[in-house]
Amino acid sequence: MHIKLVIFIHGVGSNGKDLLPIGEYFQRYQPELEISSPNAPFPFMNSNEAFQWFSVAGVTVENRLERIEQARPAFDQTIQQILEQHQLQNQLDQVVFCGFSQGTIMALDAVVTGRWPVAGVIGFSGRLATPIQNDLITKPKILLLHGQNDTVIPVTESLQAQQFLTQAGFNSTLHTIDGLGHSINLEELEQCTNFFKK
């Protein structure tokens, strides 16, 4: 997998800057790697520093998919602009999405609907909230990482996601980390560097 660009997709109430240190960690191993870490399009709690892809206020299992669907146009526009900036709009096989929490939800949604057939997805502490389309031509490689002590999104969500993705023919791997909550640690980042090497 020759990857030129990693697009980071942050979680609720965060911003693009939060995930930049992970990009810098990846660049230590792959210095030519380009990274982009946009802010999500919608403000969170009226803050100028915090953003979200969709509102989680009153979100339920029943209405989550509808919110994701409503978030798609703004998400797609954000991704399209980044690809144009990097002149990779016709080379999605050189692009990886890397999401955390809500960012993972959006990244998985982007690939299982066939909208963004990128090379791969790295998903920290997320869930698969979107039905997988049957007739996908491209099935990106997927690495899921999740802390076993996550109280925000339980690790069972990633276990279930990996099961569904594998059944649908995706090359998907899951690493769960003992003692880790809703965050990212060095052990997970080391798994990511293996993902790029393969």
pTM for this prediction: 0.96
Q: Which amino acid is at 30?
A: Q
Q: Are 184 and 124 in contact (CB under 8 A)?
A: yes
Given a contact cutoff of 8 angstroms between Cβ atoms, the answer to whether 125 and 145 are in contact is: yes
Q: Domain containing 158: what range? A: 5-197
Query: Coil, strand, or helix at residue 177?
Result: strand
Q: Given this model, what pLDDT does residue 2 score?
A: 84
CATH number, domain of 186, equals: 3.40.50.1820
pLDDT digits (tens, 9 = 90+) for 89-114: 999 999 999 999 999 999 999 999 99
- The predicted pLDDT at position 1 comes to 57
Please provide the size of the chain in residues.
198
Cα atoms in the 13 Å half-sphere on the side-chain side of 119:
19
Pairing of strands 5-9, 95-100: parallel
Q: How many domains does the chain fold into?
A: 1
- Residues with pLDDT less than 70, the chain: 1
